[in-house]
Structure 1
Amino acid sequence: MNTQEVANKLVEYCRNNQEDKAYQELYSPEITSIEMSEPMKEVHGMDGIQKKGQWWEENFEVHGNKYSDPMVADNHFVVNIWMDTTHKPSGQRSQMNELAVYQVKDGKIWKEQFFYDTGE
């Protein structure tokens, strides 16, 4: 798949709550995922992605989300993600916008990085 096809497929899976399918089909085993803050600032490989997902589920309840269409440039694409979540430990509900930037290599996502307001 080329970058546009990977981007379109990822957004389709996310919009249909099929993130697991996206990880299996679209992600490289050598994936690097970078957040702006701890505790999961940078993880590597599918084990890292799995641990990050587990941490997310333990700490956040998602009430809704929206994904923009992807914008592609060469082997990169960006998706604007809007989320409505509750932080389970504090009970604080909030909405956020983030930019997710992906890099594709050999038809697979091998790097993802997320940009959002950390409140700092």
Structure 2
Amino acid sequence: MSTVLITGATGRVGRHVVTGLLAAGVAVRALVRTPDRANLPADVELVVGDLYDPSAVRQASVGADAAFLLWPSFSADGAAKAAQWVRRQRAGVGSGAPGERRRPAAVSEGGAVVDPRAGHRGGRRTRAAGRAASATYWASLVDTPEPVTTTVTTLTGRPALTFADWSAEHADLFRVPSTQELADRYVAAFRAGRFDAALALTAPDLVRVAPLEGTELVGREAILDNARRLNAHLEYVGVELLGPFVRNDQFAVRFTFDERHLVTGARSTTTKLSLYTVSQGRITHEQVFYHSPPPG
């Protein structure tokens, strides 16, 4: 089985390449900076490293039969020469006089050459060269913009939106919601049983204080772990909400949970009032006041 090294495997293009290669029965190796956040299929071999680190690229390339490097242009001009040059480098023959032996080199996404023995300083030079080339390319678009295609019209049956029209159509996605809007979305998510959507409206470092539980928790994961502990023996049959009641940067919601004990089958209700604080369009703080004792 052949092995293909993928750079940018966690990006939009790279993920499709990974999926396609795995489906074709090809072994996939991915060069990633943070393996714990890569979220790639279990069959993918993860190699820790940065594309700008020559030693990491060299190590990741050992035993690979091919590599996927994102071509930096919409045009294929120059691709043949680049492919020929890469083949010569893999053979250990540099770009000088015919037959002249060179040290092996790795190729970055922008086509820059990185000598595996150059060390960190060489990596910095390559990064700077890549940025300079990118700046030159983007500057050239002022006078010679990329050609406009008809792909959108062909696929959708209507002309593509201008950036101004698209921005107006999607403005709400970029606007920070008011406390009232956020509170309405939060309550609507709970009523629809979309607890994941409700959680998405909270800040990652959400603080939850519940005196009767004896807890002050920071972070979504800690809060979810606490909920799983409290509700380990309960099944929620339903929930009634009253609110939201909004004032300035805070809103309150009363929850009444209809519960069934998984062991005894006994039904019970738990009522609580949660006071939320909002900042920058996210729920950042929750204070929980129980009308009846908390579960567990």
Q: Smaller-chain TM-score range? A: 0.7 to 0.9
Structure 1 residue aligned with 2:242: 68
Greater per-residue strand proportion: 1
Q: Quick check: 1:9 aligned with 2:185?
A: yes
Q: Secondary structure at the match of 1:11?
A: helix
Structure 1 residue aligned with 2:267: 93
Larger radius of gyration: 2
Task: Name the CA distance, whole Å, in 2 between partners of 1:80 and 1:88.
Answer: 25
Output one character per residue of 1:66-100: Cα deviation in whole Å (capped at 9) or x when no partner.
11130101011001111111344665421132111
Structure 2 residue aligned with 1:104: 278
> TM-score if structure 1 supplies the norm length?
0.84
Greater per-residue helix proportion: 2
* Larger RCO, structure (CA 8 Å, separation 6 or more): 1
Taking structure 1 as reference, are residues 53 and 97 closer, same or farther at Cα in structure 2, changes over 3 Å only? Answer: closer
Structure 1: stretches of 5+ with no match in the other structure: none
Aligned length: 117
Structure 2 residue aligned with 1:82: 256
Taking structure 1 as reference, are residues 4 and 112 closer, same or farther at Cα in structure 2, changes over 3 Å only? Answer: same
Q: Secondary structure at the match of 1:81?
A: strand
- What percent identity do the matched residue pairs reach? 29
Structure 2: stretches of 5+ with no match in the other structure: 1-176
Q: CA RMSD in A?
A: 2.0
Q: Quick check: 1:59 aligned with 2:249?
A: no
